[in-house]
Amino acid sequence: MSRDLVVALSGGIGGAKLALGLSHVLAPENLVIIANTGDDFEHLGLSISPDIDTLTYTLAGLDNTTLGWGRRDETWSFMETLATIGGPTWFRLGDRDLALHVERTRRLRAGETLSAITDDVARHWGIGPRILPMSNDPVRTRVRAETGWLDFQDYFVGQQCRPVIDAIAFHGAEAATPHPDALAALASPRLKAVVICPSNPFISVEPILAVPGMRDAIAHCGVPVIAVSPIIGGKAVKGPTAKMMAELGLEVSAAGVAARYGALLTHYMLDHADAGAVVPQRTSVAQTLMTTLEDKIALAKAVLAVIG
Ligand code: FO1
């Protein structure tokens, strides 16, 4: 049996970009994307799964490349009208995006699993690779500020990451069951490699690793595990990664992230800007900043070339 299956761990915008690059290089049946659900939350009575939606929109070609979240060609009548009656508008839901949240909420309340709904939406929008929630059980990232614990979206969007934090936790992770198909993929005789996409390790990857059994499944998968550095030249590509990493006591550098992942990785991919970084893993260098589709495909090819 030939080893041709790649499992990618993805959260955030960088994760979705590399997942898109990989989807252009690998046959659909040879790519499984384990999606972070730690960013999920309930808002306006709706169950919202940002990292699943960013992956879904990106792979469907519906993503809003300016914002990095939500849909392109969006209209905002719902938000504008909500504002006229004093509703909360800090978390912006476009009219088209809203349909996905309403339908997901309806189906969850009807007893369907998050993964079954995700699979069905992906099928409707012609997405080939599997987008697999890390668990169908609720896991909620929270951060500790001076004022106490904050839900992730309140911190990240509501307060624009202004609070200084000193701890992060993945509420519910210890009771969560890893999605069986994720464990099956990581134990598959077809498995060729595990790719940890370039994203904030704390908010996009560690919630996945916190689900019992997931870290062990990766540690014992017996094939290369490669992470792409989310830090280029000491700067985070997007979002509050640098501030958050510093406040959580992690050196804000490509080497700092490599050290954080430690022995879980066999390989680490750096940007040219960090070519000299000394890290414990076998390193390779590529352009890791992904702006165009060509960049995403090129990085995907560079990652796959490293693992042979
Ligand atoms: N991020 C923002 O900074 N502001 C928003 O108003 C916002 C709305 C939003 C709606 C749907 C969705 O799926 C994501 C949204 N995001 C927004 C991004 C979201 O907070 C992040 O994608 C992740 O949670 C962090 O990776």
User: What are 102-130's pLDDT values in tens digits?
Assistant: 999 999 999 999 999 999 999 999 999 99
- Dihedral angle sign, alpha carbons of residues 149, 153, 158, 159: positive
3-state class (DSSP) for residue 267: strand
pLDDT for position 239:
63
Residue 169: strand pairing partners: 142
Using a 6 Å cutoff on CB, does residue 37 contact ligand 1? no
Ligand 1 centroid to residue 305 C-alpha, Å: 33
Nearest CA to ligand 1 atom 19: 50
What is the model's pTM? 0.97
Ligand 1 centroid to residue 291 C-alpha, Å: 19
Using a 6 Å cutoff on CB, does residue 230 contact ligand 1? no
Ligand 1 centroid to residue 39 C-alpha, Å: 9
Report the half-sphere exposure of 299 (CA within 13 A, side-chain side). Answer: 31
Using a 6 Å cutoff on CB, does residue 199 contact ligand 1? no
pLDDT for position 158:
97
The ligand 1 atom at the shortest distance from the C-alpha of residue 91 is 6
**Distance, CA of 121 to CA of 79 (rounded, Å):** 23
H/E element holding 225?
strand 225-228
Using a 6 Å cutoff on CB, does residue 53 contact ligand 1? yes
Using a 6 Å cutoff on CB, does residue 155 contact ligand 1? no
* Residue found under tokens 């001076």: 146
Using a 6 Å cutoff on CB, does residue 129 contact ligand 1? no
Using a 6 Å cutoff on CB, does residue 76 contact ligand 1? no
Using a 6 Å cutoff on CB, does residue 161 contact ligand 1? no
Using a 6 Å cutoff on CB, does residue 56 contact ligand 1? no
Using a 6 Å cutoff on CB, does residue 54 contact ligand 1? yes
In whole angstroms, how large is the CA radius of gyration of the chain? 18
pLDDT for position 1:
75
H/E element holding 149?
strand 148-151
Please return the burial class of 284, using the count of CB atoms within 10 Å of its CB with bins 0-12, 13-18 and 19+: middle
Q: Which residues of the chain have pLDDT under 50?
A: none
pLDDT for position 308:
81
- Assign residue 289 the CATH number of its domain: 3.40.50.10680
Q: Which of 43, 157, 162, 204, when mutated, tests ligand 1's pocket best, judged by the most ligand atoms within 8 Å of its CB?
A: 157
**Number of domains the chain is built from:** 1
Domain that includes residue 273, residue range: 5-306
Using a 6 Å cutoff on CB, does residue 55 contact ligand 1? no
